[in-house]
Amino acid sequence: MSESVDPAEQSPAKRGEAAWKEAKSRIAERNDKVRKDGKERREAYQREKQDRRRAADRVERAEVFAADEKRRKV
């Protein structure tokens, strides 16, 4: 996850509190991105899980309906 930066474009090395704030800002940005990606993955997983559950319910209802129809014909 390291970003390559052209040394010519890189600002002079910061020191002390400025360096600390810059590092803290980079970490916060990376954490926000990871948190957003994680949220999207969880939502996709939950949607897929719900879709599978609905499909299984449809199959089960169709089987119950077919069995009920078969029983009525007998």
Q: What is the pLDDT of residues 1-37, one digit of tens each?
A: 455 555 555 666 788 999 999 999 999 999 999 999 9
Contacts of 13 (CB under 8 A, 6+ apart): 19
DSSP-based helix, strand, coil % in the chain, nearest 5? 80, 0, 20
For the chain, the domains span 16-74
Q: Provide the Cα torsion 61, 64, 68, 69; round to 10°.
A: 60
| Rg of the chain, C-alpha, whole Å | 28
Contact 36, 43 (CB under 8 A): no
pTM of the model: 0.58
